[in-house]
Structures are given as C-alpha cells and as structure tokens.
Amino acid sequence: MIRQENFGVLPDGRPVQLWRIEAPGGRYAELLTYGATLQTVVVPDKNGDLADVVQGFDTLEGHLLHSDYQGQTVGRYANRISGGFRLGGEFYAVPADANAVFLHGGGEFSHTLWDAELVDEQTVALSYASPDGSYGFPGNVSAVVRYSFDGNTLTIDYFAETDKSTVLNLTNHTYWNLSGNGNILDHILQADAKFYQPVDWRLLPDGVFCSVDGTPFDFRAPKAIGCDIDVSDAQLHIARGYDHHFCLDEGGVVRINDPKSDRTLTMATDMPGFQLYTGNFLSGKPGKGGRALAMHSGFCLETQFPPDTPNSASAADCVFAPERPYRSRTVYSFGTE
C-alpha cells in the first residue's frame, strides 16, 4: 500500500510530497519529491524490532539547510569531473570549483523538485526534465527514478533519455546505518572487488585501477569498515577515510552486516562499480530525532561509472544519445543474521 502526504513547502511556494510504500510487518520506505530522495527505510533487527536504517532529516528545512546529499538522487553526473569534458570534438565546460573539480552535477538533480506518480502498490516513479545547457551539459534530458519496495528488497531503476549526445551517471546518495544510530565503523563489509581507484588531493582518480591486495581497500574477505581506517595509509589520509571507487567483479555484490542488530544489507547493481564513502566530512549537523550526523555516522554505496570517466580512456561508456538511452538498476536486499 502507498500513502501520500505533504512534507513541507519550498521557499518558492511549491509543495513537497512524501510517499510511503508500506509492506507487511510494519516495514516501509519513504520517498520525497525534493531531490527524488530516499527518506526512510524501516526494517527489523534479529529480534523483530523495527528501526530506520537511513540517515537524514525529519523536516524539509533540514534537507534545505544541512544537506550532504542525504538520500538524494545525484545527476546529471555523479561524483567528480575535472573541469569539463570533450564530446564530439567540442569541449563542454562545467562550473568547477577552485580546484577544477565539479561534484555531483552541481546538485541539479539533488536539489530540485521532481514529479511523482504511482506505478503500482509497491512502486513510485519520480521524473525531472533537465534542459539543454544545464550546468554546461549538452542535451535536453528526461530522467525517471523508480523506487520499488516489498519489505525485503528496495529496487531503484534509473531511466534517462536525451535529444543529443551527452554524458550521464545517475546514483543514489543514501547514508546507511544498519543500527539506526551511532557510527558505522563496526559494520562488517565484504565486497566482490579486486580493484579500486586511488585519488589525488582533490579526490580525483587518475584513471588507474590498482589491486586491493595488501591494502586497506581489500574487503574481499569480511572485515569491519573501521578495521584499517586509522592506519597511516596515504589514500585514507587524503580522504579522511574511504571515499573511493571500487570496480565490482562481474556479477559481484556488496554485503554489510551490523553486529549489534544483526541486520544485513546486500547490494547488487548492473553498474561497473560503486563509491564507498564513510561520511568522512559529516560535521555533526542535526539529523533525525536530533541525532548528530557526525563523521562516520553513515556509509554510502554509490553505484556508478568511475569518477571523471568523461576524461578517461573509457569515456564512451558514459556517453548516451537518442538511440542509446540510459538504463541502470541497483537492488538493496535486507535481512538478519
């Protein structure tokens, strides 16, 4: 069953809607039309006690004033681009910062109002039209993000069509915490990923994929997220923790277990990899229930093309055109151990 209610009003007077997808046993997921945001996922622990495992804000004002992309859809291009990119012989400049880095599409998809419609009793589709030239990107892009929740799995389907060649890389920026509070350093993570991308001081990769073997980035065997996060590793020092792209093995998944609640999360995707971000720059802003969104209070698994792909040898992977629409799917499965 799906219910809809008002969640607040934007400064320009437009209302923001909250859509709740309810499942058996008191489980539910909530979505906001602002930012096509995943607001809430409530699932049980090993004792059947329910908790919200998504970090965020109780009010629209929290999202407007304090957002670090909590739960939001990111586009047109997730992660970082170095200054601009070439496509079809033309250079497209994007509004980069002082370090020539453009992050998360400038927040265009994340900080705007989407339209929503009911698809079926478990599914809501949110849509947004990005005009040609927005943030320097070519093409009129029509994007749809479809959320489905059955109580055990949350499926996010991304669709986008463009009227001219452009680069696209959509993802979701939820901060997960399977305990519902505290930090996530004791969460056990296992990832089917043999390679990761080192970054420079701007958190931009140079396109090189390095083996995780013998590094703190080796999660092929389960280990606590915080197990190696404080070692004197140059990469962890640069990012203040994990903020790196991992290349998933073919058919690979990511599995997380919280030893306190025994909740589990398994993530599968058809994207080539994911960004593991451990909330290294969260500064303690007030979140749900007044709890501080502090450093390491949540982790992100941002399924995506690698950062700065438009400027790499694999640039064609992220180029889409009228005859090649964008499609991707990420599935989060919840359980207990």
Query: Residue 79 gets which letter from DSSP?
Result: S
Tell the burial category of 289 from Cβ atoms under 10 Å away from its Cβ (0-12, 13-18, 19+).
exposed
The CA distance from 224 to 2, in Å, is 36
Q: Which amino acid is at 15?
A: P
DSSP secondary structure letters along 48-90: S-EEE-B---SSHHHHHHH-S-TT-EE-SB-SEESSEEEETTE
From 22, 30, 108, 302, active-site residue: 302
- Name the phi and psi angles at 270, rounded to 5: -95, 5
The CA distance from 315 to 162, in Å, is 17
The CA distance from 243 to 228, in Å, is 14
Q: Which residue has the tokens 């990832």?
A: 191
Q: Is the peptide bond before 76 cis (omega within 30 degrees of 0)?
A: yes
Q: Tokens representing 327? A: 């499609």
Q: Is 302 a catalytic residue?
A: yes
325: helix, strand or coil: coil
Q: Is 61 a catalytic residue?
A: no
Q: Tokens representing 175? A: 């901060």
Q: Which residue has the tokens 């007044």?
A: 290
From 104, 173, 244, 296, active-site residue: 173
The CB density around residue 256, as the number of other CB atoms within 10 Å, is 23
The CA distance from 284 to 282, in Å, is 6
Contact in structure between 85 and 317 (CB atoms under 8 Å): no
Active site members: 173, 302
